[in-house]
Amino acid sequence: MALKLWDLAAAEDDRRFSPYCWRAKLALAHKGLQAETIPWRFTEKDAIAFSGQDNVPVLVDGDQEVHDSWEIACYLEDKYPVNPLFGSAQARSLAFVFKIWVESAVHGPILRAILVDLFAALHEKDKPYFRESREKRFGKTLEEFGSDPKKAVQELRTVLLPVRKQLVQEPFVCGTHPGFADYILFGPFQWARAVSPQRLLEPDDPVYAWRERLLDLYDGLARKAKGYEV
Ligand SMILES: N[C@@H](CCC(=O)N[C@@H](CS)C(=O)NCC(=O)O)C(=O)O
């Protein structure tokens, strides 16, 4: 397969939980592209050293290397214009603003809701690195950061108001069809689904129905992935 994607894995090779890698995998599927996904752990920095940085996703397409999920989406859009991820230059700019909003408003509450489960799901060799790097980043222990999942879930549901308003009008964040902004928002839900039985959404929430639609896309790519039915 010409395309390869380094993809974060938990203890098991097939438990893939990175929200950023999920964006990239859905963008590839959206374009109808097949990629070999290579399981990667936080401590396997040597395996992606060729990319000049130490985060996944990393995409290799023939002799082209691209890292960062946003850069990967832009690369795919420009190289494979069929089935647009954005649709226009204006939509691409707005998707960038949406990405910043999702990362700053949505990732936090989801991480606080699932952190204890996420840590338990990690490969043993990643646990000391994850604990040390994240406790430094959060300024508290993992257990303190993830101590109130119920409150985090309430905060998440409140913060989702703008997308909920859109999703009562149209089936996707991008309107009648899914686009990269949908994959940006879906990433953290799939992050949670991969590692935690924590219920983030209630079935009467339009965001729940949207997530179900995303789970079904591309022959159930995300639904078939190892995770919890919540
Ligand atoms: N902005 C980057 C963020 C990528 C990122 O943070 N990836 C995490 C996995 S979810 C990672 O590789 N972390 C490596 C580490 O913490 O050492 C993107 O959108 O791709």
Please choose, from the candidates 90, 96, 80, 117, the residue with its C-alpha nearest in 3D space to the C-alpha of residue 23. 96
CATH annotation of 3-79: 3.40.30.10
Per-residue pLDDT of the chain (230 residues; tens, 9 = 90+): 689 999 999 999 999 999 999 999 999 999 999 999 999 999 999 999 999 999 999 999 999 999 999 999 999 999 999 999 999 999 999 999 999 999 999 999 999 999 999 999 999 999 999 999 999 999 999 999 999 999 999 999 999 999 999 999 999 999 999 999 999 999 999 999 999 999 999 999 999 999 999 999 999 999 999 999 98
Residues 76 and 57: beta-carbon distance below 8 Å? no
Q: Report how far apart, in Å, the C-alpha atoms of 205 and of each of 3, 43, 100, 164, 215 are.
A: 37, 38, 23, 8, 16
Q: Which residues contact 87 (CB under 8 A, 6 or more apart)?
A: 174, 179
Q: What is the pLDDT of residue 230?
A: 86
Measuring from each residue's beta carbon to the nearest atom of ligand 1, which residues come in under 6 Å? 8, 18, 20, 42, 54-57, 68-70, 133
Eight-state DSSP code of residue 179: -
How do the domains of the chain map onto residue ranges? Answer: 3-79, 89-224
Residues facing 58 on adjacent strands: 6, 67
Q: Report how far apart, in Å, the C-alpha atoms of 214 and of each of 30, 65, 70, 122, 141 are.
A: 11, 27, 19, 25, 33
Q: What is the pLDDT of residue 7?
A: 98
Give 42 Cα–ligand 1 centroid separation in angstroms.
9
> In angstroms, rounded to a whole number, what is the distance separating the alpha carbons of residues 134 and 98?
25
Nearest CA to ligand 1 atom 20: 68
Q: Which CATH class is domain 89-224?
A: mainly alpha
Nearest CA to ligand 1 atom 10: 18
Q: What is the pLDDT of residue 1?
A: 63
Ligand 1 mutation target, pool 6, 56, 72, most atoms within 8 A of CB? 56
> In angstroms, rounded to a whole number, what is the distance separating the alpha carbons of residues 192 and 194?
5
Q: What's the token pair of residue 132?
A: 């040390």
Nearest CA to ligand 1 atom 13: 55
Q: What's the token pair of residue 43?
A: 């401590």
Q: What is the pLDDT of residue 3?
A: 98
> In angstroms, rounded to a whole number, what is the distance separating the alpha carbons of residues 28 and 50?
21
> In angstroms, rounded to a whole number, what is the distance separating the alpha carbons of residues 171 and 163?
11
> In angstroms, rounded to a whole number, what is the distance separating the alpha carbons of residues 53 and 143?
29
Residues 59 and 94: beta-carbon distance below 8 Å? no
Longest alpha-carbon distance in the chain? 47
Q: Full-prediction pTM beyond 0.95?
A: yes
Q: What is the pLDDT of residue 8?
A: 98
Give 56 Cα–ligand 1 centroid separation in angstroms.
5
